[in-house]
Amino acid sequence: MKIRLFVLLFISLFFCPLKSYGNTNITLLHTNDLHSHLLPIDEKGNDCSKGENCLGGFLRLKTFIDEERKIDPNLILLDAGDRFYGSIFFTLNKEKNLSPIFKELNYDVITLGNHEFDEDLSVLANFIKDTNTPTVCSNINFKTNDFLKKNVVPSIIINKNGNKIGVIGVTTQEAKLSLQKEEFDILDAKEKIKEQVENLSNQGVSIIILLSHLGLNVDLEIAEQISNIDVIVGGHTHNLLSNTIEPNDGKYPLFAEHEDKSKTLVITSGALSRYVGKIKLEFNDDGKILSFKGDTIALDDKIGNNKKIDELIGADLKEIQNTITEKIATINEDINFSEGKNYCSVNCPIGKFVANAILKMENVDIVFINSGSIRAPLKKGEVIYRNLFEVLPFDGVLVKIRMSGKEIIEYIEAGLRKYSDEYRTNALLQMAGGDYDFDLKTKKVKSVNVASKEIDLNKVYTVIVPKYIALGGDSFPKKEIYETLKNTANVYLKQNLKNLSK
């Protein structure tokens, strides 16, 4: 569908100026895809403390939020999902480390991302209970967990300065790739959004915000199709909208304009706690946006560390110190991302290294790893346990499947559909046991070799893949699983590094 999108006309510092007469004024602060990144990270995803590209961390985020709240009583703090997984803090201790720190941020409303379902539902329930954070998600139906049935609601009404503001939540179908998929249903997002818009309107709510974990392209479709939503705060695809930060994925905000000249704004602010979005909005009596001003803000080292968060993180680090500082190996050279990139693309040494680590310990023909699961390189010198989780923060389950040579080519091409050399393509497959070549324009496979021989289209090969993609994640075709491996990718990576050091 062709979407009419209108990029902003900027007056003075690229922003539409706020009018001064008396209407409803609110400010939104928003984050998405925090992925438990409690500490600042650089552009390669490594922990850091200072420098131009050393951004984010909950220490700075808390400071920023507190300062904004002091000057703006009409501020609403929102998060669009995926707080779980992404750093060693969550991987080792799950919600136990994350909950006390997140509670200090005091979000007004959050929604659920697909990674909130990576663990048993009790982990999600404990997180919501311990943080006491209002949680909205309109297109989920929990079947088994009574706490989540009661406490994850389709929408909520916030009262600010005598005005009703409705917030609806929605999440991606990728949540169904969870190991707990039988314990809940994910319903049609657009239909549930429409239901909640009508429900809120019937309660006299004229200002409606959608917290969406569907991804930027879907958010833009919704902005075009559902006119009664004022602002969509998005997440899932880690897009950065900004008027000042380069590179970015578009201006902040993007918007659709409807037949009645009303607008639906779309905002999202990168990922991994490196940025926070801020937008000031003015509405008329009918809940239509009159003016807006905003941008994504980088949480750089000019923002001080919050003392309380610093103490909480320090206590967490002390608790896991012995584990994360365990020496695994010493390597003689860097094992990098693809040349000139800060992610895995084609010819990715760290991607090949991870896939080969699995192949060396398993009797299979091929190992495929999706590039999106690999988030950091390994630096020359001593490798400690913590570094393994920087490389593979999601620590996903691996499975064995069987595919013919013809199916393998189709599988590789499924990972190439959205390939771009300009950004990380999560579905791009890193391969061990062979290699493949493809046409950059057509995104079709030119050749595949297995064990130094051209692939046999009719032969059936045994292949290891992450369970996530075997179940259809990253838009791969679903495959029948015949064995789930006892070890995760981190275990294989650890053992391979140890073997190198012998």
Q: What is the DSSP string of 453-487?
A: EE--TTSEEEEEEEHHHHTTGGGPPP---SEE-SS
437: enclosing H helix or E strand: strand 434-438
> Do 134 and 43 lie in a common domain?
yes
With a cut of 80, say whether residue 103 has pLDDT above it.
yes
In a domain? residue 319: no
With a cut of 50, say whether residue 18 has pLDDT above it.
no
In a domain? residue 199: yes
Work out the mean pLDDT of the chain and round it to a whole number: 91
Among 24-38, 139-153, 230-244, 385-399, which stretch is predicted with the lowest mean pLDDT? 385-399
Please give the pLDDT value at position 93.
86
Token reading at 123:
């982990």
> Do 297 and 347 lie in a common domain?
no
> Do 295 and 366 lie in a common domain?
no
In a domain? residue 318: no
User: Under a CB-based contact definition with an 8 Å cutoff, are residues 106 and 308 in contact?
Assistant: no
User: Under a CB-based contact definition with an 8 Å cutoff, are residues 252 and 274 in contact?
Assistant: no
> Do 281 and 374 lie in a common domain?
no
Range of the domain at 420: 327-501
> Do 134 and 212 lie in a common domain?
yes
> Do 286 and 402 lie in a common domain?
no
With a cut of 80, say whether residue 36 has pLDDT above it.
yes
Per residue in 202-259, pLDDT (tens digit) is 999 999 999 999 999 999 999 999 989 999 999 998 999 999 999 999 999 999 999 9
> Do 158 and 274 lie in a common domain?
yes
Q: Which residue has the higher pLDDT, 415 or 97?
A: 415
With a cut of 70, say whether residue 355 has pLDDT above it.
yes
In a domain? residue 17: no
Per residue in 439-480, pLDDT (tens digit) is 999 999 999 999 999 999 999 999 999 988 998 888 899 999
With a cut of 80, say whether residue 11 has pLDDT above it.
no
pTM of the model: 0.81
Q: What letters, b where the CB count within 10 A reaches 16 and e where it falls short, cover 468-489?
A: bbbbebbebeebeeeeebeebb
The structural domain count of the chain equals 2
CB-based contacts of 150, cutoff 8 Å, min separation 6:
none
With a cut of 80, say whether residue 351 has pLDDT above it.
yes
| pLDDT level of residue 352 (50, 70, 90 thresholds) | very high
Average pLDDT over residues 292-303: 96
With a cut of 70, say whether residue 14 has pLDDT above it.
no
Please give the pLDDT value at position 179.
64
> Do 233 and 333 lie in a common domain?
no
CB-based contacts of 105, cutoff 8 Å, min separation 6:
58, 61, 62, 65, 77
Please report, rounded to a whole number, the percentage of residues in the chain having pLDDT higher than 90. Answer: 73
Backbone angles phi, psi at 410, to 5 degrees: -65, -35
- Rounded to whole angstroms, what are the CA distances from 323 to 86, 328, 331, 423? 17, 11, 20, 33
CATH value at residue 493? 3.90.780.10
d(CA 471, CA 467): 6
Please give the pLDDT value at position 502.
66
Per residue in 124-167, pLDDT (tens digit) is 999 999 999 999 999 999 999 999 999 999 999 999 878 899 99
With a cut of 70, say whether residue 6 has pLDDT above it.
no
Average pLDDT over residues 327-334: 93
Please report, rounded to a whole number, the percentage of residues in the chain having pLDDT higher than 70. Answer: 95
> Do 281 and 387 lie in a common domain?
no
Please give the pLDDT value at position 21.
39
Residue type, 218: V
Please give the pLDDT value at position 444.
97
Please give the pLDDT value at position 92.
85
Token reading at 442:
């057509």
With a cut of 60, say whether residue 20 has pLDDT above it.
no
